[in-house]
């Protein structure tokens, strides 16, 4: 893995799960990890319930926009984490792929999105411990 590992989060619309995961990884790992997110069929805007749920924990994703998944994004990432995008994610040899089974927050209110947000945080914390642990002197 590169000196600074890179992670790509992919879900269908890049409007909920992958946006929350990218925001958590950015918040919790800081500049120790390069973070990307994308969707196989990007939505028009980030899910408002996801924006609200993340705002409740002090993470602002209101300025984010769904991005289309590109082959280059996958090629340039050390770890690709899919969240319900099925077989639409290109596979390259030598990459690490994880599939996180998470509920889709689309069409749900903030109360239903909170547990998804919290589950993503736990998964991200575990990922950071594995790929970019804090180095203490």
As annotated, the active-site residues are 11, 85, 89
- Nearest residue to 33 via CA among 45, 44, 41, 22: 22
The single-letter DSSP state of residue 81 is E
Spatial separation of the C-alpha atoms in residues 36 and 11, rounded to whole Å:
12
Residues contacting 96, CB < 8 A, separation 6+: 78, 79, 80
In 3-118, where do the E strands start and end?
6-11, 34-39, 79-82, 96-99
């Amino acid at each position: 893995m590169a000196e600074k590992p890179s992670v790509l989060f992919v879900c269908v619309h890049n409007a909920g799960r992958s946006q929350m995961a990218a925001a958590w990884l950015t918040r919790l790992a800081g500049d120790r990890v390069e973070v990307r997110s994308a969707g196989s069929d990007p939505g028009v805007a980030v899910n408002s319930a996801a924006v609200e749920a993340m705002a409740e924990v002090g993470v602002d994703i209101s300025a984010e926009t769904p991005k289309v998944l590109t082959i280059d994004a996958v090629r340039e990432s050390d770890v690709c984490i899919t969240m319900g995008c099925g077989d639409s994610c290109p596979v390259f040899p030598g990459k690490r792929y994880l599939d996180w089974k998470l509920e889709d927050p689309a069409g749900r209110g903030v109360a239903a999105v909170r547990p998804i947000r919290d589950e993503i945080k736990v998964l991200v914390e575990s990922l950071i411990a594995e790929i970019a642990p804090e180095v203490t002197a």
